[in-house]
Structure 1
């Protein structure tokens, strides 16, 4: 994993040093700790990393609060070191007094991109650079749950952190559940992406999970709106053998037929045993064969081994395996055809 992430660091260093993103890890760390650190920087907050007197390490991520993250990291380190450890990093900061560092700028509370019931908002849990210096922006849309569950403010999936390490600002496409109709949300997203492009971002990636992924595919009907779309477990209707799920298959074909983004790259991910998918083989063929003729490149991650269910893209294991590949697909001059 250290080797897989190391290519990100030189690109970041061109603009300014970002110690929290340096996969080399803490000074004096042993090989195991350096490898753990290279993975740790790609994981979601709340998180903490601890180091022992002989270079041992321990980490925690995705904790409910900072106190839990710190305690777990220290305990994991102490089990390896056999003695007390000290905290080295907490969330986006390096807290070791010898190398103390905080991000030079914080994400603004808002960019003013939004309207009634929706907003494209910077996420403060990521490094922020601003349009002038960022490699681009990635806009992540959450899913839509039952009983009007409100997912606004939810941290994007773990793999998105790899884009942040590669220099991208991270923003959320938040929608109020009472107004979150699929076609209405796609209209909001088109408007927001135009305004984000006008703000000066050189490359725009639109991504999402479930209904957020569905919206990311819908905006491909507008040429030049996005450079890359990443759709994780795209869905817009109910599950099981319902007519809604049958309608979803028809509507996905319609979205593909309306796609008109000859310069865009599209990554499409689906998982085995997803109850929101009626015909995974048919979906794979539709994306590979028909959408592939309407966009510049397609990366199909089709039911990868070891991942199952509608939410499989959320897990850190998915980020470990596919995060760097998704970044390479979005940014490399010659995008990889597979992971």
Structure 2
């Protein structure tokens, strides 16, 4: 979706043969980053760790692209077994270095959008002051679906919020979906999120199990953009957001 839009945009810009880099972050191949001339940089943290192409950024991010935001990606090395949650912490510092590199390139604003494992990484990185202006966490998950892992999954979610720095972001959105087999306890996670943002003083948006879309990949469904796309894009930009 947004990848195709980005590649079409590249036809209108000077040609770059390879992806540009900001630490561990990359643009799409052939897309020229506009740095300070862009409205901001949006970073897509997808859930992918295995062979094959990673999922494209959710359709709602095309709304930010249309407002002048550049798309960057956080691609972890594919192949091998899916690691458990704890090694995700080894990615926190490289991710923070990447967002700092975007600032050094001239981007005035940086937004992170993570899905599943990518969202859990963004959640863990909230301990870093100055991480980003805004973060959206779509169905954060890193512990699998086995019932015996649910208690640890909820404990790690709570611990990440406990360690969060009040200066890491200004705005944060949490997106939870019905029938998400990776969510250990959506009601408890919503309550933990509300308490954390009240303590940390962040502006917050909670999409808490709407009737549609449903499932762990709800943010990728066309219904999500149709129902929540504009409101979420407005929220991440710091505009007044009229959400359902």
TM range (shorter): 0.7 to 0.9
1:309 is matched with 215
Instruction: After TM superposition, give the deviation of residue 261 of structure 1 in Å.
Output: 3.1
- Equivalent residue of 2:135, what SS? strand
Alpha-carbon contact 2:141-2:183 (below 8 Å) kept? yes
Q: 1:336 aligns with which of 229, 238, 241?
A: 241
When residues 173 and 319 of structure 1 are mapped into structure 2, their CA distance, relative to the original with a 3 A threshold, is same
1:150 is matched with 51
2:38 is matched with 134
Alpha-carbon contact 1:152-1:175 (below 8 Å) kept? no
Q: What is the alpha-carbon root mean square deviation over aligned residues? A: 2.6
2:77 is matched with 176
User: Is 1:248 aligned to residue 149 of structure 2?
Assistant: no
Give TM-score, length-normalised by structure 1: 0.63
- Equivalent residue of 2:136, what SS? strand
Aligned partners of 1:151 and 1:183: how far apart in 2? Answer: 24
Unaligned 5+ segments in structure 2 are none
Alpha-carbon contact 1:205-1:226 (below 8 Å) kept? yes
Cα distance per residue 1:179-222 (max 9 Å; x no partner): 96311122221121111111111000011110101111122112
Instruction: After TM superposition, give the deviation of residue 227 of structure 1 in Å.
Output: 0.2
Instruction: After TM superposition, give the deviation of residue 110 of structure 1 in Å.
Output: 2.9
Indicate the structure (1 or 2) with the bigger Cα radius of gyration. Answer: 1
Aligned partners of 2:99 and 2:192: how far apart in 1? Answer: 26
- Equivalent residue of 1:261, what SS? coil
User: Is 1:232 aligned to residue 138 of structure 2?
Assistant: yes
Alpha-carbon contact 2:173-2:204 (below 8 Å) kept? yes
Aligned partners of 1:106 and 1:328: how far apart in 2? Answer: 30
Unaligned 5+ segments in structure 1 are 1-42, 48-90, 94-100
1:167 is matched with 68
2:170 is matched with 264
Paired residues, number: 237
Give TM-score, length-normalised by structure 2: 0.86
